[in-house]
Amino acid sequence: MSETVDEVFRRVFGDRFEKTSSGCWLWRGRIQWDGYGEFAFSINGRQRRMQAHRAAWQLAHKRRAGRKLEICHTCDVRACINPAHLFEGTHSVNERDKVAKGRHVTPFGRVGERSIAAKLTDAQVLEIRRLAQDPATRFEALADDLGVSNTAVYQAAVGFTFSHLPCTPPPRRKRKAT
């Protein structure tokens, strides 16, 4: 018999979070300067800390989040650890689901907040480069998510721009799936 998310959360987090009527599960432990909850725990006698919402996402999904990926909030409440409000910073089926529900938040921000002169950040470029290692990743789709041009994504992916960041040249794109 496997534990439900609720049971796992209560076992690991105890009373360090509170479910609110808004649907958010607010972290009641320490809050970091940037507004995210901080989950402190010990492994083999060593104190560790991590973002509470990241811990929550990992617990709910039973796997580690990608090292360079952010765990993002659909609710914009940084202290919220409700796994239903959290998503890993990649394009996923869930994202498409949110599009369908009209509350689309891309891994990089809300589509509605796209600015005309959208610029990529270092974190976004690293994420683009990571995703670009998968030949199935389409630059156009990333550009769409980020609200920037295909050229901007391509140049960042191959290292023409943001040359101060590590870059492994992405594999060639196949023209057609075989």
Sign of the C-alpha dihedral, residues 152, 157, 158, 160?
A: positive
Q: Which is nearer to Zn ion, 102 or 166 (CB)?
A: 102
> Cβ 9 to Zn ion, closest distance in Å?
14
> Cβ 17 to Zn ion, closest distance in Å?
11
Six-digit token string for 60: 């709910």
Q: Which residues bind Zn ion (CB under 5 A)?
A: 24, 75, 77, 80, 82, 85
Q: Please state the separation of Cα 124 from the chain's center in Å.
A: 11
> Cβ 107 to Zn ion, closest distance in Å?
17
| CB atoms near residue 130 (< 10 Å) | 19
Q: Which is nearer to Zn ion, 85 or 129 (CB)?
A: 85
> Cβ 21 to Zn ion, closest distance in Å?
12
Distance CA(70)–CA(41), nearest Å, equals 20
